[in-house]
């Protein structure tokens, strides 16, 4: 029996069966943070997923950020879930990307899809109760089986127990200001990373300054972008 926690791969087309619209959105690997490269990524960018080495000074710096109250989210309308299930950070990251898509329009989840039904059921619940609901859901296992039957390969989650997936999205705070919001099921809630004018460029700067610069030379980073075309 495969685990229902579907491994997150660099091009998770199996997300289509969960409710990701067939177009115009797709997941794309991000190979460089150079501004010249970023301009070739299709717009709009709806989410950026980051895999990073959660250890050493970087790990301690993130703990200090939260302990100080830095980044406390002042807003609503962001879907966030607490991670209570081991080895599921890739799946949680994917949920944070997909369940924060617009509620209507070309980039909305497919009507009556597994993900949309799960989101609707989870909205009245606390982040911890959402985690309990997720633990009883079977749509990830179904997606895993569909991917396996179609011959898609998958990279196992958490090959290195000291790496972690998080997601960045754009959202408005209580003042109507556009912000970069970091979504990590291991934090106490959504984390405000600062003003947002261009999500991909702003996230690239955050990753360079708040993650790579604190990693002590560790290069175990990977980024995936959920983007489409206007």
- Residues recognised as catalytic: 89, 164
- Which one-letter DSSP state was computed for residue 55? -
**Distance (Å, rounded) from C-alpha 130 to C-alpha 215?**
32
Residue 144, token pair as written in the block: 């895993």
List Cα–Cα distances, 92 to 17, 41, 57, in angstroms.
17, 24, 24
Inter-residue contact 133 to 122 (CB < 8 Å):
yes
- Cis omega before residue 44 (within 30°)? yes
How far does the chain reach from its first CA to its final CA, in angstroms?
Answer: 41
């Amino acid at each position: 029996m495969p685990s229902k926690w579907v491994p997150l791969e660099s091009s998770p087309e199996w997300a289509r069966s969960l409710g990701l619209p067939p177009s115009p959105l797709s997941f794309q690997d991000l190979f460089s943070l150079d501004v010249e490269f970023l301009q070739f990524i299709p717009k709009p960018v709806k989410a950026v997923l980051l895999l990073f080495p959660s250890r050493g000074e970087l790990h301690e710096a993130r703990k200090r950020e939260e302990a100080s109250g830095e980044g406390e989210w002042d807003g609503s309308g962001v879907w966030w879930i607490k991670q209570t299930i081991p080895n599921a950070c890739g799946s949680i990251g994917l949920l944070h990307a997909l369940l924060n898509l617009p509620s209507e329009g070309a980039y909305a989840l497919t009507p009556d899809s597994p993900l949309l039904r799960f989101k609707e059921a989870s909205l009245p619940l606390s982040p911890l109760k959402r985690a309990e609901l997720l633990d009883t859901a079977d749509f990830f296992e179904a997606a895993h089986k569909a991917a396996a039957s179609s011959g898609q390969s998958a990279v196992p989650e958490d090959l290195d127990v000291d790496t972690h997936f998080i997601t960045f999205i754009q959202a408005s705070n209580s003042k109507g200001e556009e912000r970069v919001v970091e979504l990590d099921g291991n934090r106490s809630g959504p984390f405000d990373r600062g003003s947002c004018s261009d999500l991909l460029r702003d996230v690239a700067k955050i990753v360079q300054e708040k993650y790579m610069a604190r990693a002590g030379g560790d290069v175990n980073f990977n980024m995936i972008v959920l983007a489409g075309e206007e």
